[in-house]
Amino acid sequence: MRIRIVGAGAMGRGIAQWAAVAGHTVELCDVRTEAVTAAVDFVRSMLERGVQKGRMPSGDAAAALERLVPLDDPWAPGPEVELVIEAVREDLDTKAEVFGKLAEALPDSAVFATNTSSLSVTRIAASLQDPGRLAGLHFFNPVPLMKIVEVVPGAATRPEIPPALTALVESCGHRAVTVADTPGFLVNHAGRGLVTEALALLEESVADPAGIDRIARDVLGLRMGPFELMDLTGLDVTAAVIDSIWQGFRHEDRLRPSYLTPNRVTAGLHGRKTGQGWFTYGPGAPVAEEPPVTGDAGRPVFVADGEGAAGLRSALGAAGATVESGSDPSGDAVVLVPVWGTTVAAAVASLGLPAARTFGVDPLPPAGSRRVLAVTPAADPSAARDARAVLARAAEGKEAYAVSVVRDTAGSVAQRLLASVVSVAASIAERSLATPADIDLAVTTGLGYPTGPLAWGDRIGAARLLDLQSALHRATGDPRHRPTRWLAERAQLGLPLTDPGTSPEDCA
């Protein structure tokens, strides 16, 4: 296939390298000829690096480079061009102008694809005399390494184009997911579950950014915490995406932005690229460290009944802790309450527990060696330090647990992050914006989560997750926590969250 790529910036040159390596002839062009020269030089250096590292034979690299054809004129006639991929700046008028000129220069049979990440594919196509020839083909940076592409049909896109683009993407070694033309498409939309809930936790002073990130990594198993991720992406970019998706979905509560971001963006605290965001970067930058464990690990502990209570009692006993039995704690014991969508304060009130020495424990099994201790405003600091020391204990020969101390909130940190991630993904499936399989594939490949959000929900269990989200909703009254219909139906019917289910069309 002969492919013309318009735009020789980071995305355009990445797409050019990807397509040329896969065996296609690639015309690379830009309104700035110096950008094309620089892009070809960059691709050459990437291919040479691949040869040096043994990732590809030198002959394959040379052949790929030969298939890369620099063009001086983006609007040059191209009777053999079958596909155009546009990768110019994110501006509707600019993209419309590019495609209008291309429509005059290229045959009617050429398919047009836009790499837009935030604009409506339908609106871009509407500027064309034949809007049916255009679809979205959204790559991620760096293109050769990010092996996922979103195929986005516009409202008028001809039905044969999305399958053809999917086949092309997958023949070139990437995975393709088909997603509706909605704000954020799929990956950016699904990614809002983590960062919006992290910002909500910070708003409520449940923990600081470093503390939330530790829990996201060590309990949920994410590669990066949400605040590290925002600093890497750029808070200016993240905030704009959050706002545009929230506005695009008509102020959906589940996607609600935080009041914390606008002032930080205005102040230039954008993250790594500015040297300071949620964290500080550069030589001599301080590293957020946890305070050492200083309490009495030998203090007796009473574990109140609740989800995961038996497992916690067993684990603490195996670690040598003095675990009390019976129906009530002694006058000296620290009390641990497993909380699932509820608060420690509610448990203190309903069970008549001693407020000064009662603390919450998240029953989610940690992906690493970290437990989470929740403290209420009534907690005795000395008792909290002892409870932390007890929770840090591990069985002989095992590494001691790190213990995060957070403010009491319904569901604690990890549960709220996980519930939000699954909830946003479930709402995407509920609206039929993408299939469950494509949602999980896009998130694991595009965002690097350890498992897809719907499969993650299945690992917890639909009924158990429904209990969590219902408890969060009751405890907070915040509609952002209301369970989705997708989750409620599957919990009631015994179906996995990953099951697309039977549709009315299946029964016609």
Q: Which residues are catalytic?
A: 117, 138, 150, 188
First and final C-alpha spacing in the chain: 40
Nearest Cα neighbor of 211 from 425, 477, 29, 402 is: 402
DSSP state of 300: -
Q: Which of 409, 355, 356 is nearest to 381 (CA)?
A: 356
Question: How far apart are the C-alpha atoms of 486 and 429, rounded to whole Å?
Answer: 7
Could you tell me which of 373, 326, 365 has the C-alpha nearest to residue 460?
365
- Scan for tokens 């990956």, then name that residue: 187
Got the DSSP string for 35-99?
A: HHHHHHHHHHHHHHHHHHTTSS-HHHHHHHHHTEEE-S-TT---TT--EEEE---S-HHHHHHHH
Peptide bond into 153 cis (omega under 30): no
Q: How far is CA 72 from the centre of its chain?
A: 39
- Calpha distance 275→280 (Å, rounded): 6
HEC letters along 172-205: CCCEEEECCCCCCCCHHHHCHHHHHHHHHHHHCC
* Cα distance between residue 500 and residue 508, in whole Å: 17
Between the CA of residue 202 and those of 65, 340, 367, what are the distances in Å?
49, 20, 22
Give the strand pairing for 134-138 and 148-153: antiparallel
Residue given tokens 């990732």 in the structure block: 55
